């Protein structure tokens, strides 16, 4: 038996989702909370490895419980777990699922949003939650460029150097840029993402809008060369917003 | 000569606006930033004393400069000061004003907003920025009750015990409660506020909606007795949003 949890968290204080030696991860505080409620340490598997400083709404993870686990009705689990969690992590929903369900491998699509605060003056309320870019960005230029991400491509140019997943082909279902006042928001959904892929996409769109790149997105994808893409945007503006399963 | 600054700040890390011994205040970090830019310590006067944990957008303060101060064009001051300020305080605007202008005494009206997150599950993104009330609140009941604050009244029942301002009469221009999804937002403007007045107003509206008070707002005002009002809502949800001068 597994429990599928839906989480929301502010990632600023964490080394990311994944547990790392001597660092505090979201996974470890969830595991601690589960232990606090069930009286036993169970393994927790996330849908994704978010980076340090990256946030999530609608993150999914499973808890591998066993026959010894006391039965707690699923509607009571969020509040029970939240009393054991720090203020920056919250369980929104819990459901018992079959053992065949896998938090990562069963994912059909994930959506990320990236918030750029496009203003010469920083906003204290957005600290840690947006990337402040002082130069005025043209969101129409960025939206048109973002459309070129859509489709099945080898995204080697959009992954961190040194990452070594053998298959760098991903299918992007949707990609768009919109403006809401001082906010420029990039939204992207795909069947999967390479390491730092969204942050490099954002850095590339911003660098294109700032006139710092000579090639267009299509050309950068085709080159399969990280050096042709833009900078890696800071983690602050990035939120995993949605995970869909089959 | 004075400089009128418009500030935005997240108050979570501060003891409030006002400088207090051995504590970090917003006033002290602004004074430090002014010293960093002008090379001399000048006195800074705020429009209001916000409590510890209370936030502001559109806070006003004046800096008393003298003839020795280098002339910096007002449009360059926000960025210059922001480079010397911590991430949770930002200068939005600066203007040179006459010596006769007083940041506090020249105030005509101030507006506060208070955000209640009305949900059984806490939201990590609202931590420190809203009061989470799990029981469903009726915003129409609260809005009707809020309307009774409007007018010129002795608000003795809505100030912290022990505060000793001689005149407890204030004029409330507007007061309303609205719902935006899970958020219940109280907005109030007045010619001035007593110590903890907005937080006691909010606590009273919530206690009324939860059926914990026997009297209505009109009766509580009339009683001039703090014990008849509701609890003092936590500072987290409170933001000073607007200050108007003559």
CB pairs under 8 A between A and B: 56
Using a CB–CB cut-off of 8 Å, the residues of A that contact B are 8-10, 55, 57, 78-79, 82, 87-92, 120-125, 127-129
**Residue A221: its H or E element:** helix A217-223
B55 contacts in A (CB within 8 Å)?
125
B91 contacts in A (CB within 8 Å)?
121
Answer whether A171's CB lies under 8 Å from A189's CB: no
Catalytic residue among A32, A51, A138, A236: A51
Give me the residue from A78, A79, A90 closest to B123, CB to CB: A90
**Å from A87 to nearest chain B CA?**
6
Tell me what ipTM this predicted complex has.
0.91
Catalytic status, residue B51: yes
The pLDDT tens digits for B37-88 are 999 999 999 999 889 999 999 999 999 999 999 999 999 999 999 999 999 9
**Confidence at A164, pLDDT banded by 50, 70, 90:** confident
Q: For chain A, where are the E strands, in sequence order?
A: 2-9, 44-46, 55-64, 89-97, 107-117, 131-132, 151-154, 169-180, 183-190, 238-245
| Subunit contact B127:A8, Cβ cutoff 8 A | no
Q: How many residues does chain A have?
A: 246
Best mutation target, B124, B131, B182, to test chain A (most A CBs within 10 A): B124
| Average predicted confidence (pLDDT) for chain B | 96
Is the confidence at residue A165, as pLDDT, over 90? no
**Confidence at B162, pLDDT banded by 50, 70, 90:** confident
The residues near A71 (Cβ < 8 Å, ≥ 6 apart) are none
Is the confidence at residue B246, as pLDDT, over 90? no
**Å from B123 to nearest chain A CA?**
7
Tell me what pLDDT residue A214 has: 86
Answer whether B210's CB lies under 8 Å from B184's CB: no
Give chain B's domains with CATH numbers.
2-97 (3.30.70.580), 109-244 (3.30.70.660)
Residue whose structure tokens are 């399963």: A245
Is the confidence at residue B214, as pLDDT, over 90? no
Answer whether A186's CB lies under 8 Å from A176's CB: yes
- 3-state class of A155 per DSSP? coil
Answer whether A51's CB lies under 8 Å from B84's CB: no
**Å from B11 to nearest chain A CA?**
10
Provide the Cα torsion A168, A170, A172, A178; round to 10°: -30
Separation CA B238–CA B129 (nearest Å): 7
**Confidence at A124, pLDDT banded by 50, 70, 90:** very high
B90 contacts in A (CB within 8 Å)?
121-124
Residue B103 backbone phi and psi in degrees, to 5: -55, -35
Catalytic residue among B51, B99, B216, B236: B51
**Confidence at A46, pLDDT banded by 50, 70, 90:** very high
Best mutation target, B29, B93, B115, B122, to test chain A (most A CBs within 10 A): B122
Is the confidence at residue B175, as pLDDT, over 80? yes
| CA angle (A44, A46, A50) in 5-degree steps | 130
Residue in B with minimal Cα distance to A55 = B125
Give me the residue from A78, A87, A123 closest to B121, CB to CB: A78
The pLDDT tens digits for B85-122 are 999 999 999 999 999 999 999 999 999 999 999 999 99
Tell me what pLDDT residue A166 has: 84
Tell me what pLDDT residue B164 has: 73
Number of H helices, E strands in chain B: 5, 10
Is the confidence at residue A138, as pLDDT, over 80? yes
**Confidence at B166, pLDDT banded by 50, 70, 90:** confident
Best mutation target, B94, B125, B237, to test chain A (most A CBs within 10 A): B125
Is the confidence at residue B25, as pLDDT, over 90? yes
Answer whether A38's CB lies under 8 Å from A2's CB: no
Residue in B with minimal Cα distance to A86 = B124
Separation CA B15–CA B21 (nearest Å): 10
Mean pLDDT of all residues in A153-175: 92
Tell me what pLDDT residue B131 has: 98
Separation CA A17–CA A30 (nearest Å): 10
Tell me what pLDDT residue B104 has: 94
């Amino acid at each position: 038996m597994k429990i599928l949890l839906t989480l929301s968290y502010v990632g600023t204080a964490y080394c990311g989702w994944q547990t790392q030696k001597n660092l505090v991860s979201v996974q470890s505080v969830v595991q601690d909370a589960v232990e606090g409620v069930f009286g036993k340490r169970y393994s927790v598997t996330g849908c994704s490895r978010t980076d340090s400083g990256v946030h999530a709404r609608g993150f999914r993870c499973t808890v591998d419980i066993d026959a010894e686990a006391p039965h707690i009705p699923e509607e009571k689990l969020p509040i029970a777990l939240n009393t054991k969690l720090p203020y920056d992590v919250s369980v929104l929903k819990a459901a018992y699922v079959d053992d065949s369900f896998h938090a990562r491998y069963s994912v059909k699509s994930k959506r990320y949003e990236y918030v750029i605060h496009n203003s010469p003056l920083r906003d204290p309320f957005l600290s840690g939650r947006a990337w402040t870019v002082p130069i005025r960005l043209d969101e129409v230029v960025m939206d048109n460029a973002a459309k070129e991400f859509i489709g099945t491509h080898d995204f080697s140019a959009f992954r961190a150097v040194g990452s070594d997943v053998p298959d760098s082909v991903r299918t992007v279902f949707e990609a768009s840029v919109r403006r809401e006042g001082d906010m420029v928001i990039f939204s992207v959904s795909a069947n999967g993402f390479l390491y730092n892929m969204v942050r490099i996409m954002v850095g590339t769109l911003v660098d294109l809008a700032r006139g710092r790149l000579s090639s267009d997105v299509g050309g950068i994808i085709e080159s399969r060369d990280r050096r042709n893409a833009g900078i890696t945007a800071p983690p602050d503006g990035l939120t995993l917003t949605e995970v869909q399963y089959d």
